Structure 1
Amino acid sequence: MDLRVTTQSVNEISSDVLVITATRAAGEAKGIQLSSAGQAIDQALGGVISECGTNEEFKGNTGELLSIHTLGKLAAKRILVVGLGAVEKVEPQALRKIGASIIRHLHSTNARSATLALAESSAVAETAQALTEGIFLGAYAFRKYQQNQNGERKLKDVQLQTSESNKTAVEEGVQKGKIFAEATNFARDLVNEPPRVLTPTELANRASAMAQQYGLECEVFDQAKIESLGMGGILGVTQGSVEPPHFIILRYRGAPESQEKGLALVGKGITFDSGGLSLKPAGSMETMKSDMGGAAAVIGAMQAIAALKPKTNVTAFVPTCENMPSGSAFRPGDVLRLMNGKTIEILNTDAEGRLILADALSYASQEGHSPIIDLATLTGGIVVALGNVMSGLFSNDEGLQQEIIAAGQAVGEKYWAMPLDEEYGELVKSDIADVKQTGGRGASSVTAAKILEHFVGNGAKWAHLDIAGTAFSENAKNMEKGGTGFGVRTLTELALRNAR
């Protein structure tokens, strides 16, 4: 699908569908308020749109749609009026949802071309970016394994219409929004692939191919290299699988003259999680191809960062393997020695993500990175606490915590700050090792973060994002079911802000 910017008059646009916006009338008044483009269209159609508002057939509520055939009175065949809700509440995240709902509606009508007339605004670039993200995220579909292609989407040509004076700003917003969305959709592709396809080796191959395309440095450690580094967490988890592990490193050097190592991103890359010998119930395994959602987000963010070229250094570390049951699988009661020399007592082989993250955090710390941010579909506990609306945020630095929350708010991804009080550390003390692998069911997401904290180097700012509830969605209202790419846009926005 192509997205372009046009300054052509709305009366002359010959798209199959011309989309205009309307807000609810202020206060208790009935009716709707149309954008300047909407007013011109309404006048050409004899006032039918405003009449629908006065009669309350269309109230302008957020996401509400009104379709009107022009019957030859305009160059466009049909007008689609989209409600934005109360004018004082039109925020970028609402625009993303509206962009997604518009594009999904247009696909259902078999339209081949559409033009969205942007309302005049002082933040026209941000509006264009948000709508662009929504359009590309809403248009996403993962259909490569379906034989029947009758559902192929026909909408190929989409335009954003604006004034000549705003064209440059809108084009900049579209370009940024497209980069954000395409990187998110790349991450969604990774999550949605069947686990027999997206093995650890294939994840490494796709990360390497992306790096070559976007000019990133890429290094992939094989099992022998992982063994030489003493990454006992990765080796322990992978020993039950026939698939070899990998450790992927992607480097973006936007500030090569800087002496600072810069931001480190760490993503959990369990390409399939059976639970190992602590086997999951069958129903709980159905979506476990998504247990590499953290890795997908980190890899996707590196694509967007490389495309946007901020003047900052960012490095991604992705440990990837499978967690499978077999005669060679690691067992409850085992003790593993991780890369930084600390030992961990295994109690439940289904708590494997923290083991591979611990090695990656150790490696990033030894390289001297700060801040370090890890993303992982780590605990069911965070889903119980926050559902699929927010991700849990744990950090040893208040400033970093606020930066992540602010970046998330800017791109429509929500985080809730969780505790890391010392008392929780008592729950993961082991009698036979340096740390226990799990602190039990109570505060499970917190104790998991406390375990990870053992593997962050002294002095490094660190944040752990538990995205277990947000990386995969069963809700197809505005987005395709499956991987969401959650975290890609937050990490990208954070890198841009660091550069500024």
Structure 2
Amino acid sequence: MNFQALATTAEGLAKVSADALLVIVPAPTGDAPASIGEPTLDAALTDALEQGDFALKAGRTLYLHRLPDVKAPRVVLAAARDASPKAVRAALNAAFGALKGRLPRHVAAFVVGAGADAALAESLVLAADAACYTYTATKPSADAGAVPAKVSLLCAKAELAGAKAALAQAQAIAAGIGLARACANLPANVCTPTYLGQQAAQLGETHGLEVEVLERKAIEKLGMGAFLAVAQGAEEPPRFIVIKYQGAGKKDAPVVLVGKGITFDTGGISLKPAAEMDEMKFDMCGAASVLGTMRAVAEIKPKLNVIALIPTCENMPSGRATRPGDVVTSLSGKTIEILNTDAEGRLILCDALTYAERFKPAAVVDVATLTGACIIALGHHQSGLFASDDALAEQLLAASRTAQDPCWRLPLDEEYDDALKSNFADMANVGARAGGAITAAKFLQRFTAAYPWAHLDIAGVGHRGGANKGATGRPVALLTHFVLARAGA
């Protein structure tokens, strides 16, 4: 899709040359009547409201075909709860949904009473991208449907330059989300650790990133005993992926992003129940989101150094697999008693977090589908945020608001450490069921004393289940806005 900004006013909407015109109508405040600002559209809006065919309630849409004196043959009115970015994005999603399966070649969008700022540009791009996405990688019979050749953001003439820049940035974020979604949706027999390494190498070639993909011998040489303990039951070999983007001076401390890359999680010897185990292919959504963020960063080119670390392997039961009760030595030298082999994500992450020390980072953020307990706490709307540094936490929360990719900060009180005590090692890899997301974060925190650190538990938001099963691409937008804010962009 080609995204562009076109100058127009509300009064000029009837003259817009497009195959479909989307008009977002926020609910008016007080007793003010609903109005778009163009006579023909206002007449259609008033009539639809009076006849009960439309209501200014979130999620409501009205499809109008060949209105007299309106150049666009298709018009979709979509109601927004108010003029906030969140409400406008929801309305744009609904508007594109009304065209699902019949998306024309040129779609133009206008938001009544709103300026064409970066939030609106990003909402338009992501709504269009989501409406056009169809999984076809291993389903060639799927009908991919029509994709608009052009999507226009209609705005005031004075806003054109800013809107064009915002659209370009939004497209980079959408591309990153697309890469994350594409990798995570693949079945585990396709998206293996080797495949993720290949995708990283390809990303390096196409976007000028420095990429290193370490194989088992190199990982063993480093001494990543916790990581290898998870990988040792699988036939598929592990990979440790390092991606470097240099947007600032060589001596400038980087931001390091760490993504959990379990390409399939059976639970190991602590085998998971069969129900919904197919969704364990999504246990690499953290890795996928970090890959996607690096693509977005490489396209936007902020003045900041960013490093991605992706430990990736399968967690499988076999005669070689780690057993409950085994003790392993991590890269840090700390020993870990593995009480539950299904608490494996923290084992591969802890070695990556120790590896991050060598870069003397300004901050480290790890991203992982880490715990079912986080889903119990927050459901499927917000990521769980844990941080050892208040300033870093506030930066991530601010980025989440900008990106409309929400997260919620949870505690890291020292009292939770007691749950990880072990009689046979420096720590256990799992505590009691209560507060499971917190004790998982406390485990990771033990390997992050050298730098400001934050952890995003995306177990509830990295993918959807049920009839809409599939990856979301979250939190690529959050991470990208975090990096841009750190760069002062």
How many angstroms apart in 2 are the aligned matches of 1:82 and 1:485?
A: 25
Q: Are the counterparts in 2 of residues 382 and 392 from structure 1 also a CA contact under 8 Å? A: yes
1:17 aligns with 2:20: yes
Question: Match of 1:108, SS?
Answer: coil
1:242 paired residue number: 235
1:141 aligns with 2:134: yes
1:469 paired residue number: 460
Q: Are the counterparts in 2 of residues 351 and 437 from structure 1 also a CA contact under 8 Å? A: yes
1:33 aligns with 2:35: yes
Q: Are the counterparts in 1 of residues 116 and 159 from structure 2 also a CA contact under 8 Å? A: no
1:491 aligns with 2:479: yes
1:407 paired residue number: 399
Which amino acid in structure 2 is aligned with residue 215 of structure 1?
A: G
1:99 paired residue number: 92
Shift in alpha-carbon separation, 1:481–1:91, aligned structure 2, 3 A: farther
Deviations 1:51-99 (A, max 9, x none): 223444322222321122225533211221111223xxx2223333322
How many angstroms apart in 1 are the aligned matches of 2:225 and 2:425?
A: 14
Q: Are the counterparts in 1 of residues 246 and 305 from structure 2 also a CA contact under 8 Å? A: yes
The alignment's TM-score, normalised by the length of structure 1, stands at 0.92
Shift in alpha-carbon separation, 1:347–1:125, aligned structure 2, 3 A: closer
1:64-103 mapped onto 2 (5 Å cutoff): 64-71=60-67, 73-86=69-82, 90-103=83-96
1:428-447 mapped onto 2 (5 Å cutoff): 428-447=420-439
The one of 186, 195, 201 equivalent to 2:194 is 201
Structure 2: runs of 5 or more not aligned: none
1:336-375 mapped onto 2 (5 Å cutoff): 336-375=328-367
Comparing 92-101 with 289-298, which one deviates more in the overlay?
A: 92-101
Shift in alpha-carbon separation, 1:380–1:73, aligned structure 2, 3 A: same
1:423 paired residue number: 415
1:211 paired residue number: 204
1:314 paired residue number: 306
Question: Match of 1:32, SS?
Answer: coil
1:253 paired residue number: 246
Q: Are the counterparts in 2 of residues 246 and 321 from structure 1 also a CA contact under 8 Å? A: yes
1:40-51 mapped onto 2 (5 Å cutoff): 40-42=39-41, 47-51=43-47
How many angstroms apart in 1 are the aligned matches of 2:254 and 2:228?
A: 28
Q: Are the counterparts in 2 of residues 240 and 329 from structure 1 also a CA contact under 8 Å? A: yes
Which amino acid in structure 1 is aligned with residue 461 of structure 2?
A: T
How many angstroms apart in 1 are the aligned matches of 2:485 and 2:433?
A: 37
Shift in alpha-carbon separation, 1:75–1:28, aligned structure 2, 3 A: closer
Q: Are the counterparts in 2 of residues 136 and 182 from structure 1 also a CA contact under 8 Å? A: no
How many angstroms apart in 2 are the aligned matches of 1:48 and 1:291?
A: 48
Which amino acid in structure 2 is aligned with residue 488 of structure 1?
A: V
State the shift of 1:165 in Å: 2.2
1:6 aligns with 2:6: yes
Q: Are the counterparts in 2 of residues 393 and 416 from structure 1 also a CA contact under 8 Å? A: yes
Deviations 1:471-498 (A, max 9, x none): 011377xxx6411111111111111111
Which amino acid in structure 1 is aligned with residue 208 of structure 2?
A: G
Q: Give the CA RMSD over aligned residues.
A: 1.9
Shift in alpha-carbon separation, 1:314–1:105, aligned structure 2, 3 A: same
Q: Are the counterparts in 1 of residues 304 and 487 from structure 2 also a CA contact under 8 Å? A: yes
How many angstroms apart in 1 are the aligned matches of 2:20 and 2:66?
A: 10
Matched-pair identity in % = 38
Deviations 1:262-293 (A, max 9, x none): 21111100000011111111114120010001
1:220 aligns with 2:216: no
Deviations 1:423-447 (A, max 9, x none): 1111101111111011121111111
Q: Are the counterparts in 2 of residues 362 and 457 from structure 1 also a CA contact under 8 Å? A: no
Comparing 391-400 with 365-374, which one deviates more in the overlay?
A: 365-374
Question: Match of 2:151, SS?
Answer: strand
How many angstroms apart in 2 are the aligned matches of 1:53 and 1:307?
A: 44
How many angstroms apart in 2 are the aligned matches of 1:128 and 1:151?
A: 25
How many angstroms apart in 2 are the aligned matches of 1:278 and 1:299?
A: 29
State the shift of 1:110 in Å: 4.9
Shift in alpha-carbon separation, 1:147–1:139, aligned structure 2, 3 A: closer
1:187 paired residue number: 180
Question: Match of 2:99, SS?
Answer: helix
Question: Match of 1:218, SS?
Answer: strand
State the shift of 1:104 in Å: 2.8
State the shift of 1:371 in Å: 0.9
The alignment's TM-score, normalised by the length of structure 2, stands at 0.94
How many angstroms apart in 2 are the aligned matches of 1:310 and 1:172?
A: 14
Shift in alpha-carbon separation, 1:236–1:62, aligned structure 2, 3 A: same
Which amino acid in structure 1 is aligned with residue 24 of structure 2?
A: T
State the shift of 1:40 in Å: 4.5
Q: Are the counterparts in 2 of residues 255 and 313 from structure 1 also a CA contact under 8 Å? A: yes
Q: Are the counterparts in 2 of residues 240 and 328 from structure 1 also a CA contact under 8 Å? A: yes
The one of 55, 61, 76 equivalent to 1:59 is 55
How many angstroms apart in 2 are the aligned matches of 1:246 and 1:411?
A: 31
Question: Match of 1:171, SS?
Answer: helix
How many angstroms apart in 1 are the aligned matches of 2:197 and 2:63?
A: 47
Question: Match of 1:470, SS?
Answer: coil
Which amino acid in structure 2 is aligned with residue 25 of structure 1?
A: P
State the shift of 1:102 in Å: 2.1
Question: Match of 2:318, SS?
Answer: coil
Which amino acid in structure 1 is aligned with residue 374 of structure 2?
A: I
Which amino acid in structure 2 is aligned with residue 492 of structure 1?
A: T
How many angstroms apart in 1 are the aligned matches of 2:197 and 2:102?
A: 39
How many angstroms apart in 2 are the aligned matches of 1:7 and 1:115?
A: 11
Q: Are the counterparts in 2 of residues 267 and 294 from structure 1 also a CA contact under 8 Å? A: yes
How many angstroms apart in 2 are the aligned matches of 1:215 and 1:92?
A: 34
